[in-house]
Structure 1
Amino acid sequence: MALSTPAILAILGVLFLVRKALTIGSRHKDYPPGPPTLPILGNIHQMPKRDAHLQFQKWANEYGPIYSLMLGTRVLIVLSSDQAVKDLLDKRSAIYSAREDHYVGQQLCSGGMRFLMMEYGPTWRYFRKMCHVLLNVNVAKTYVPYQSLENKQMLHEMLMSPDRCLQNIRRYSNALTTTMTFGWRTPTYEDAKMKQLYEGFSEFVQINQTGTAALLDSFPILRKLPDWMFPLQARAKKAFKKERELYLGHWLTAKNAMKTGTLRPCFCVGMAQAQQEEGFSDDQAAYITGTLLEAGSDTTASTLYAFVQAMLLFPEVQKKAQREIDRVVGKDRLPNMEDEPSLQYIRGCVKESLRWMPTTILGAVPHAVIREDAYMSYRIPKGAGVMNNVWAIHMDPRRSPEPRRFDPDRFKDDFLNCADSATQPDASKRDSFTFGAGRRICQGMHVAERSLFLGISRMLWAFDISPVIDAATGEAILPDPDRLTQGILVMPEEYKVSITPRDQGRADLIEKEWQEAEHLLDPITKQWKQTPGP
């Protein structure tokens, strides 16, 4: 029996749709190479659940400095050489500064307001310009007194509670960031709002690491299904509600303090003025300031914690660094920013910490290209994600011989700060890629570099960092440098460390410096009574 014309057309339509569906996940022949794909999924099934940086490095070794991953309907271009990052993210930043559609991370977890994942356009550029006002190199210098005093509390806490190394470091980083952003400090690690910040970001990372998140991001049609079919959606919405309450509370507290004339100079002053002129919502202002707090609190703390781990594993570096500090500074005062030009090995410790343990191990969030492009004879399609494969670049033995060795002498002839290094014409001479690239490069690098210098130089001036000894075996307990937390920002898993004052005179000076600093604080609230001097 002959089929009717409508039936034939229906069959042809079904066959076309099936064929079209089967092309999803496949790699076009002119795309950069990459691992074999499966229909529909592409390479989603090969995405590792842990230590993704190791698999991305392995693929770089196999497929070269630029390769592609097919993630369902999405294409991810992975840049694994310094030159590829320079050529595309830096030199072609006008078309490589967009973001992919992060449905789970940006829409569900952040209400579309997370600055890190914000779409490239006028709104992003406006807020980017505002952040520059807070974090440019000239303004960053004015924060040094706050950095110095928060650092003195960290030294005091290391002296009193050396078994709380990570907590002491985190409070230091968080307190400085709240001061710059909101005009108030975090006096103790037990501060409920600081704990909520770290716990909330951990939840954000865990949600976005799941296979369900990858499916929802890669196959938009699945987003129409109810929450009971994808419980992750309800979990993400709940996380957003809690995070919004935290950030909005911070913002409104600062905004009300400005109205009463009690707000100290900080980013929120400019944000409140801009809100009056531009009319953006309190929610949006809260998320701009909140994500600044999030980024500033986490990255510096993670890098400092990695440095402490390196001192356990490379004790000869610690000894050499202490000899330089003793020669330049002596033992009767703390190092300060004026000592930086004379402490080149310590500057090397800062740069090597950023290289050896990059917190943005896979470039945090991929860029996206706004129109089709070509590179090294490959086609890069419009809308493709573009990843800065930081780990693979930092661990390239051609850039850094014996890359897992912590060696500050790699930078003995590098006298540039991190920002100037990032703009060098020769990509092979850039110190690290931890701060990103192109128009999305981290604007807080000036502040972070100073916080790291003060943290590293003063810890080494004051303390000996050594392994804890196992009471049963008498052996040193050393951390495994390959055991990292998971997510878009990583750090070493918590480890045991012994931190002891180098001598009683240094311990006494730490206490004296902190007692003098405390006179600037209200005895009850522990907030600044007056702005600290240099």
Structure 2
Amino acid sequence: MSTTGMLDLSRGTVGLCVLIVLAVSTLSRFFLASCRPRNFPPGPRTVPFLGNITQVPKSKGFLKFHDLGATFGSIIGLKLGSQNFVILNNYKHVRELFDKRGSIYSSRPRTYVANTLVCPGDIHLLLLPYGPAWRVQRRVVQSLLAVNRVDAVLPVQDAEATQTLSDLLRDPAGYYDHVRRYTTAVVLAAVYGVRGARFDSPNVRALYAAQDEFTAVLEQGATPPVDAFPFLKMVPAALAGWKRRAARVRREQMELYLSLVAGTRERIREGRSPDCFLGEMLRDQEKTGLDDEHLAYLAGNLMEAGSDTTASTLLSFLLAMIKYPKEFRKAQEEVDRVCDPLRSPTSEDIGRLPFIEACMNETLRWRPVAAGGVPHMLTQDDTYQGYHLPKGTVLVANTWAIHYDEDEYENPAEFAPDRFVREKYGTRDPVDESADDHRRVLYGFGAGRRVCPGQRLARNSLVSGTKP
């Protein structure tokens, strides 16, 4: 064999060896990344390279995690590819980590679809990492949702609830759309200063369509597990329908939210200054330093948080009233006693309807909207109950498991509002607040520094919405 041939063979052999070494190194890295860290919370056995990803259902994972608690306890460790996940099935873990250690447990995991394709540039408050940008937007929202400002919306809630009653009497079969119109109309008036008199009105339809698409594209299973297997990011959009769908959602959502900002600004310019949250944000724009895109999304976030979730709770309440006629009769008797049979309750009656309020609390417990919780991310290594939680671990408070804990609630699967009449927290035993600090009545609104700031607005809408 010639010297040239031997050199070519040698180069080919070296190149092949390099490729083999790189392949082995890459596979080893992926294999090790899918293994459970030392002293990590217990969980089901992992599969090489995949972790526990094949054991997590595409929908209603909160039920699976609740069941896993019987085997592994109330704190469960999972591996989704290379990502560390911890499921918290008991309120005590949520209290100790999210509430008491909020400085390191308040960030959000960055996901490729949500943070890069749909909402790039840290523009969506729910998805923002914990830091200066989040604090600026959170302060704006908290000022808008102060008690006096929220209670100023009560007359709107009363009026929209009255229309909903009329709609239900006229068209009982359309109850689903009537309830959704009610909750959307309340938030439309509060945020943008405009009415949504019909479910098929352009604003209501457009907002629900945008919200449904946004939720659908971020649902578990709607896209490949790109965060667990980052190489999937390299698939071109021409071959990835999920990428094209995410881009369309981004475009349509931005166009809608910016058009609502433009409409509000135009009304202010014409002297029809709406007394609404977005109007206030526009007047304070120079002070907050937020550009139109950020204001558009901040207003849109308020819409997202205050419409569909409240509608879902009211629909669950209607379901409970049908399924549990005894509780319905008790609620009706209280309303008749407080308001007399010829008058519907208004916002002024809220404090005098303890059983109605208990029904709302029980609905939020019995059918929590965010049953699986919203993920938090740990920003530095931590130790909890002897377990090592590495930086970057994603933690989820499993609201369903917390609300269905048989040690805390008697017959948790039953709709029983009286539990909240007897005890503020609805628990089997009275809660000693001095010894059980930071405990929350319910966990559907989140916990820690990321707790929903719009709870009062939502609760007012729920109680007003019982008028029908």
Q: Give the 3-state SS of the residue equivalent to 1:107 in structure 2.
A: helix
State which of 91, 96, 108 in structure 2 corresponds to 1:87.
Answer: 96
TM-score (normalised: structure 1): 0.80
State which of 363, 366, 374 in structure 1 corresponds to 2:383.
Answer: 374
Name the structure 2 match of 1:468.
none
CA-CA distance at 1:360 after TM superposition: 0.7
Is contact 1:372–1:380 with CA below 8 Å preserved after alignment? yes
Which digits, 9 at most, give the CA deviation of each residue in 1:446-505, with x for residues without a partner? 01111111112x22xxxxxxxxxxxxxxxxxxxxxxxxxxxxxxxxxxxxxxxxxxxxxx
Name the structure 2 match of 1:523.
none
Is contact 2:108–2:376 with CA below 8 Å preserved after alignment? yes
Q: Give the 3-state SS of the residue equivalent to 2:406 in structure 1.
A: coil
CA-CA distance at 1:56 after TM superposition: 1.7
CA-CA distance at 1:210 after TM superposition: 5.0
The whole-number CA distance in structure 2 between the counterparts of 1:15 and 1:186 is 60
TM-score (normalised: structure 2): 0.90
Which digits, 9 at most, give the CA deviation of each residue in 1:52-106, with x for residues without a partner? 2211211222211111221112111111101001010111111111000121123
Name the structure 2 match of 1:430.
440
Amino acid at match of 2:332: Q
Which digits, 9 at most, give the CA deviation of each residue in 1:127-185, with x for residues without a partner? 11111111122322111111111111111111111111111111110011011111111
Counting only pairs closer than 5 Å after superposition, residues 253-264 of structure 1 correspond to structure 2 as 253-264=263-274
The whole-number CA distance in structure 1 between the counterparts of 2:228 and 2:285 is 35
Which digits, 9 at most, give the CA deviation of each residue in 1:497-530, with x for residues without a partner? xxxxxxxxxxxxxxxxxxxxxxxxxxxxxxxxxx
Which deviates more from structure 2 when the two are superposed, residues 240-249 or residues 258-267? 258-267
CA-CA distance at 1:229 after TM superposition: 3.3
The whole-number CA distance in structure 2 between the counterparts of 1:133 and 1:414 is 32
Name the structure 1 match of 2:292.
282
Q: Is the counterpart of residue 186 in structure 1 residue 183 in structure 2?
A: no
CA-CA distance at 1:354 after TM superposition: 0.5
Counting only pairs closer than 5 Å after superposition, residues 469-488 of structure 1 correspond to structure 2 as none
Amino acid at match of 2:323: L
Counting only pairs closer than 5 Å after superposition, residues 84-483 of structure 1 correspond to structure 2 as 84-112=93-121, 113-209=123-219, 211=221, 213-363=223-373, 365-414=374-423, 426=436, 430-456=440-466, 458-459=467-468
The whole-number CA distance in structure 2 between the counterparts of 1:439 and 1:217 is 25
The whole-number CA distance in structure 2 between the counterparts of 1:379 and 1:273 is 48
Which digits, 9 at most, give the CA deviation of each residue in 1:340-371, with x for residues without a partner? 333211111010010011001111x3011111
Which digits, 9 at most, give the CA deviation of each residue in 1:185-231, with x for residues without a partner? 11111113322222222222222235463522223332233113322
CA-CA distance at 1:240 after TM superposition: 1.1
Which deviates more from structure 2 when the two are superposed, residues 376-385 or residues 187-196? 187-196
When residues 311 and 191 of structure 1 are mapped into structure 2, their CA distance, relative to the original with a 3 A threshold, is same
Q: Give the 3-state SS of the residue equivalent to 2:76 in structure 1.
A: strand
- Aligned-CA RMSD value: 2.5
The whole-number CA distance in structure 2 between the counterparts of 1:142 and 1:44 is 47
Which digits, 9 at most, give the CA deviation of each residue in 1:106-138, with x for residues without a partner? 321223422211122111111111111111223
The whole-number CA distance in structure 2 between the counterparts of 1:424 and 1:313 is 37
The whole-number CA distance in structure 2 between the counterparts of 1:119 and 1:335 is 42
The whole-number CA distance in structure 2 between the counterparts of 1:31 and 1:66 is 10
Q: Give the 3-state SS of the residue equivalent to 2:307 in structure 1.
A: helix
The whole-number CA distance in structure 2 between the counterparts of 1:379 and 1:208 is 29
Name the structure 2 match of 1:52.
61
The whole-number CA distance in structure 2 between the counterparts of 1:9 and 1:162 is 73
Amino acid at match of 2:400: W
Q: Give the 3-state SS of the residue equivalent to 1:216 in structure 2.
A: coil
When residues 198 and 431 of structure 1 are mapped into structure 2, their CA distance, relative to the original with a 3 A threshold, is same
Q: Give the 3-state SS of the residue equivalent to 1:213 in structure 2.
A: coil
CA-CA distance at 1:16 after TM superposition: 3.6
The whole-number CA distance in structure 2 between the counterparts of 1:71 and 1:427 is 33
Structure 2: runs of 5+ lacking an equivalent: 1-5
State the aligned residue count.
452
CA-CA distance at 1:427 after TM superposition: 6.6
Is contact 1:350–1:452 with CA below 8 Å preserved after alignment? yes
Is contact 1:102–1:117 with CA below 8 Å preserved after alignment? no
Over the matched positions of the two proteins, sequence identity in percent amounts to 35
Q: Give the 3-state SS of the residue equivalent to 1:218 in structure 2.
A: coil
Is contact 1:348–1:412 with CA below 8 Å preserved after alignment? yes
Is contact 1:21–1:40 with CA below 8 Å preserved after alignment? yes
The whole-number CA distance in structure 2 between the counterparts of 1:427 and 1:401 is 22
Is contact 2:106–2:377 with CA below 8 Å preserved after alignment? yes
CA-CA distance at 1:425 after TM superposition: 6.3
The whole-number CA distance in structure 2 between the counterparts of 1:13 and 1:235 is 34
Is contact 2:60–2:372 with CA below 8 Å preserved after alignment? no
Q: Is the counterpart of residue 32 in structure 1 residue 41 in structure 2?
A: yes
The whole-number CA distance in structure 2 between the counterparts of 1:168 and 1:109 is 30
